[in-house]
Structure 1
């Protein structure tokens, strides 16, 4: 594993789940079968067909694909300039997707990392995307980690951004965001300004409110604004978003390369989680960026530089 030099002191937080604390010794993982699964609906959820936006530098990006997965309450419209930069600099097409219950993708009552992973795995197969780099932020980070551990052959490498493969409580901000968004829907606002005022007590930072309110739309010209995402479903899924479906790195491991990017002002990837990351992802590299949880939007140039350097080294 490789560590970039930190720009701040380590961020310590009590996020390592007790069930991980006794696992210290490394052992050889059980080999996993080749990626030959058929993606059909399970007893508990169905695979949904994901909406996406392709960034391919006007058709000039012909290399191996990059798939970008947003975080909770996000969409494929997030970080478009970053996706365009990757397509241009790396000459690789970038598929920015909407996960289930986000953006223009279908809604479903099941919202957990196994369901999210199966959706994206089906997307890769449908579009015949091979040797992909999977980039995910927050919820998207746990999704790409889940995919890599479920089916290592589904991708060439992964780049999880500001999340770790542990069961860890979400920041208290996310339940507040969900509550505020429900309040907005109940008020049936006619304008973005009105919605912003309702949401302000639940999301103090203007950039966060602007991010959340990108999900608002008008079904009809005279209708009140409403969220295109199913806020109630996502509010009920917050515990699942704090969870991680794998608990034992002695049973599953991703032996390909992985770049973990964390914000030094964020608690989601504390130094205590690094040994667990190293056991699930023994070839991981770590880059720290002087930012909070919203690493990509806060420091896009630094994020682009870290990803480009990582991927160019692999060529």
Structure 2
């Protein structure tokens, strides 16, 4: 029997209603409206689709950047993961960063709700979700929420961050002060901006990373500016140091990999116990890097992630 048009319409409305309810529950507040995140899709070679009906293509990998980052930072690794793991790889711009919308509200519940909205919009299932630093906390908040659909998340990878609460490093607020100073000077070029930024940051690689957010001036608009909303990010700094779930409140039982930079203090002796408390089926790997693990040692980072995903790979689903 072919369903009537009215039945299909009612069924669609019911599904839409349930999706809205899930998103509201996921955000823990009906006042949170998810935004459409900008993204890049890196499809496996020879594949023009990310359809879950393809048995020769693996389940999707979704990557979340850290504070001041964007999907562009992961372009090379995303291409490598797609090629080597033969699965679609999505790199997202989180709200207020990259090319995604500038909106008030930048809690982890806000950002996790955006990622859920993205996955539902693109009909993703059995996702492997990876996040670095702030993006890692977004990924953990996504996994721990009680409204997470059962078949949505298969694997979780968290890069150099713990599910703990603490003040964010002063250097991040310093970066915002530096960006504001650069805009106040009306610099046109990245070279000029970099010269001033050296007062706050001596490491040229970190300066180059921060300046990926700088839009140089043009003939019609001579003063360069940053594409991120500096005021919104400054107000969000205290929130970025937080975490939405208390210890013992929630756990996620799925496959979880933490990757720590040995020279970084974001995962340390004071918070390392929380990794297992929240994620009992976890494993911890370490690389001889600082906080930007994937940028400092991309080769070994890629091996760790690939080995973890291959170990936990499933037969591709047909429905």
Q: 1:146 aligns with which of 141, 160, 177?
A: 141
Following TM superposition, by how much is the alpha carbon of 1:194 offset from its aligned partner in structure 2, in angstroms?
A: 0.7
Following TM superposition, by how much is the alpha carbon of 1:39 offset from its aligned partner in structure 2, in angstroms?
A: 2.5
Following TM superposition, by how much is the alpha carbon of 1:171 offset from its aligned partner in structure 2, in angstroms?
A: 2.1
Sort the Cα spacing of 1:128 and 1:221 in 2 relative to 1 into closer, same or farther, 3 A.
farther
Aligned twin of 1:245: 244
Q: Are 2:171 and 1:173 aligned? A: yes
Bigger RCO of structures 1 and 2 (CA < 8 A, at least 6 apart): 1
Q: Are 2:203 and 1:205 aligned? A: yes
5 Å-filtered alignment, 1:296-315, equals 296-315=294-313
Sort the Cα spacing of 1:232 and 1:36 in 2 relative to 1 into closer, same or farther, 3 A.
closer
TM-score norm. by structure 2 comes to 0.84
5 Å-filtered alignment, 1:1-315, equals 37-39=21-23, 42=29, 44-60=31-47, 62-150=57-145, 151=148, 153=150, 154-218=152-216, 220-223=218-221, 224-249=223-248, 251-315=249-313
Determine helix, strand or coil for the equivalent of 1:125: helix
Q: CA RMSD in A?
A: 1.9
Structure 2 CA distance, aligned partners of 1:186 and 1:90?
46
TM-score norm. by structure 1 comes to 0.85
Unmatched tracts of structure 1, length 5 or more: 1-33
Sort the Cα spacing of 1:285 and 1:48 in 2 relative to 1 into closer, same or farther, 3 A.
same
Larger radius of gyration: 2
- Is the deviation greater in 92-101 or in 146-155? 146-155
Following TM superposition, by how much is the alpha carbon of 1:58 offset from its aligned partner in structure 2, in angstroms?
A: 3.9
Unmatched tracts of structure 2, length 5 or more: 1-17, 51-56, 314-319
Give the helix-richer structure, 1 or 2.
2
Structure 1 CA distance, aligned partners of 2:74 and 2:274?
29
